[in-house]
Structure 1
Amino acid sequence: MFNEEEGFAISIALTAARQLKLLDVAPSIESAQSKLQRILPDQLRQRLRAADTAIELNLQPATMPADKEVLAKISHAVAHKQSINLQYRSVSDMVSERKLDAYGLAFHATHWYVVGFCHLRQDIRSFRLDRVMRAELLSQQFTSPPDFSVISYLRSAVASIPRAYSVELLLKTDMQYARRYLSDAIAVLEQTTGGVLLYNQSEDLSWFARQLAALPFDFEVRKPAQLQDELRKVAERLLKNCS
């Protein structure tokens, strides 16, 4: 029998799964919630019903692979450290065959990703599952790098995607304080003498300047010069609002 904390945790997890639409298993989620309600004591059941009604999660539905077997096969490949062959369609609609040593699966920014060593590129790559057309398990085994974090890789990869502007700043603070205000999805941070180097790829320098204006520590813009112009505009607008 579940205690109150365990029952509440399961109920919230099922609610999140339903809103995210992580899998096309809505009937299964409803069935699980019904079973959970039946086995709990009356008082706890009433509390969980009230919580399910009251709690609203601000979650974006997931983009799922067209073939449910894709997720199942890749999950098997990750769990058993078994290489897998993917037929993959890129964002430009180019189809390629990729042999992958899949290190892990992650749900990030409304998409499922698999991250691993791509034998074609001879490097670690990420692949969106909704672009995987076919997955075939192979007989070869592999060894994952120790302490590899799929989420950390994805965040860093997103921040490093080439865009219109390459940004480099020197933050006048330490790494721990910088990470409190700058997520991996926004910037790649590197400890250096005199502070923390920030690297970013941006399409909108005006937006990025507004984010920098909110930082509680000083920084030095190394590039591009256009970012300095955008920061001046932000400062002028703030000063105007103070008059």
Structure 2
Amino acid sequence: MFTSKELATIMVGLNFVKSQVDEGLVEDAKGVDVKIKNVLPDELKEFMVSLEGRTIVDPYLKFGGEKKKGGNWYLISSAIAQEKRMQFKYTTKSGETGIRKIDPYILVFYEDHWNVIGRSHLRGESRNFILESIEEVKILEENYTLKDEIDVERLIYGSETTSEMIILDIEKKELARLEANIPAKIIKKEPLNSEIIKVSFKFDNLAFINEWLLQFGRKVKIVAPEKLIEKRKLLLKDMLNQ
């Protein structure tokens, strides 16, 4: 039987899953919740009930976001565990829909959505697919073989060959927030003074990182590359003209 500390840990995990945008994950977490309560002694059940409404994980997702269907997470995780190829219908951000076949490697949660990363048979290289844009998931009777152990960091952060070095000056008090959320691996941190840290990382989508950095306002300054600085100027000018 669980100790109260173990049960509290489970509650944090279940509340995280219940806060998700994916409707299937939320419903599955509720099912696990019910089964655990059914086998707990009265004392621990009372402890669990008292915690579930008072341990809130990511309230803006839990209360603010509409739950969405898509991307059967269980079938995808099963394909990953069995190292089997899978096929699904995918809708891109531009609205184009087509059938995709992939070798699924990892499931990744980022900010407000889940992704599956795997080798796309259409592109012949690793690609990222957002679960809520996936429909009609099928596990195929085709196993794939990994030549090497999966490099999770490389899959998440992408290939450095297509990336550019980004250099920022950021206020020291904002560094932890940047490190916790930045969609890249920080290569170097260098204090400039007691208030400012110089941060370097590589990224392959300047338009995305330009908009992403806006959340830090004046607390971050783009030092390089020059074309990212120009993108920042154009973006701010466009925003002012709206």
**Separation in structure 2 between the aligned mates of residue 204 and residue 108 of structure 1, nearest angstrom:** 13
Question: Residue 71 of structure 1 aligns with which residue?
Answer: 73
**Separation in structure 2 between the aligned mates of residue 118 and residue 228 of structure 1, nearest angstrom:** 33
Aligned residues: 209
Question: Residue 152 of structure 2 aligns with which residue?
Answer: 149
* 2:55 is the alignment partner of 1:55: yes
Identity level (%): 20
Alpha-carbon distance change, 153 to 64 in structure 1, aligned in 2, over 3 angstroms: farther
1:104 to 92, 103, 106: 106
* 2:119 is the alignment partner of 1:117: yes
How large is the RMSD of aligned CA atoms in angstroms? 4.1
Displacement of 1:182 in angstroms is: 2.7
**Separation in structure 2 between the aligned mates of residue 75 and residue 53 of structure 1, nearest angstrom:** 29
**Which blocks of at least 5 consecutive residues in structure 2 are unaligned?**
190-197, 204-208, 234-242
Alpha-carbon distance change, 210 to 188 in structure 1, aligned in 2, over 3 angstroms: farther
Deviations 1:33-61 (A, max 9, x none): 45534543444333333222322222415
Alpha-carbon distance change, 23 to 170 in structure 1, aligned in 2, over 3 angstroms: closer
Displacement of 1:88 in angstroms is: 1.4
**Separation in structure 1 between the aligned mates of residue 32 and residue 232 of structure 2, nearest angstrom:** 55
Deviations 1:68-94 (A, max 9, x none): xx4343222111111112221111111
1:126 to 125, 128, 140: 128
With the length of structure 2 as denominator, give the TM-score of the two structures: 0.65
Question: Residue 167 of structure 2 aligns with which residue?
Answer: 169
* 2:182 is the alignment partner of 1:185: yes
Displacement of 1:122 in angstroms is: 1.2
Please state whether the residue corresponding to 1:57 is helix, strand or coil: coil
Matched to 1:12, the amino acid is V
**Separation in structure 2 between the aligned mates of residue 225 and residue 126 of structure 1, nearest angstrom:** 27
Conserved? CA contact 2:19–2:26, under 8 Å: no
Question: Residue 9 of structure 1 aligns with which residue?
Answer: 9
With the length of structure 1 as denominator, give the TM-score of the two structures: 0.64
**Which blocks of at least 5 consecutive residues in structure 1 are unaligned?**
173-177, 214-218, 230-243
Alpha-carbon distance change, 45 to 184 in structure 1, aligned in 2, over 3 angstroms: closer
Q: Return the index of the structure with the highest Cα Rg.
A: 1
Matched to 2:211, the amino acid is E
Displacement of 1:169 in angstroms is: 1.4
